[in-house]
Amino acid sequence: MNSATDVGLRHLVVECRDIIDTVAELVPEYTAHGSDGGFVALPTRTLQLGRSGSADSGHEDYRFAKFGLLVRRSRQALLEIVRAPDDAFFNYGSGAFGLADTLTAGPCDSDRGDWVVWAGGIWVNEPGCVEVVVSSEDEEIPVRLAVGAPCDGRS
């Protein structure tokens, strides 16, 4: 059984059983987004591009930028890719590789730490600034991720 489940066109639900860690404090180079200390934390550094897509996958021209997804344990976060230099998609959880331009994570019960952490990242077929909208309850915040190249100064 996959622990990351497709629930619609290009939408991924990342399940609590796929958490790899919990932390009490944010790690360096991460910024919390949202009121009252934030509901999601994402990296502020330029993400390095790593491995390429598998041969014969249809994604051979894509590269993976790995980063942990941190969500406040008591909150649910929705992340949506709204703009990328070309194409981009999320890959989190232990489910099969798939195209997900939106994902939902949390809330998750944990008696350790305020933040739960999932392993994964984002696939891009061109480095650049990927714009993501993060939302939870009545908050919606635009965030820019520098994936393989820095974001310029435009907002």
pLDDT of residue 96: 60
pLDDT of residue 95: 65
pLDDT of residue 27: 87
pLDDT of residue 137: 93
pLDDT of residue 53: 80
Per-run averaged pLDDT (10 residues), the chain, 155 residues: 44 92 93 96 96 80 95 96 94 77 92 92 96 96 97 66
Strand partners, 135: 78, 140
- CA dist 141 and 134 (Å) reads 5
DSSP string of the chain, one letter each residue: --SEEEEETTEEEEPGGG--EEESSPPTTEEEESSTT-SEEEE-SPBPP-PBPPTTSS-TT-EEEE--EEEETT--EEEEEEE-SS-EEEEESSS-----SEEEE-----SS-SEEEE-EEEEESS-EEEEEEEEETTEEEEEEEEESS---S--
Q: Domains of the chain (ranges plus CATH)? A: 4-147 (2.60.40)
pLDDT of residue 2: 31
pLDDT of residue 7: 44
What length is written for the chain?
155
pLDDT of residue 153: 63
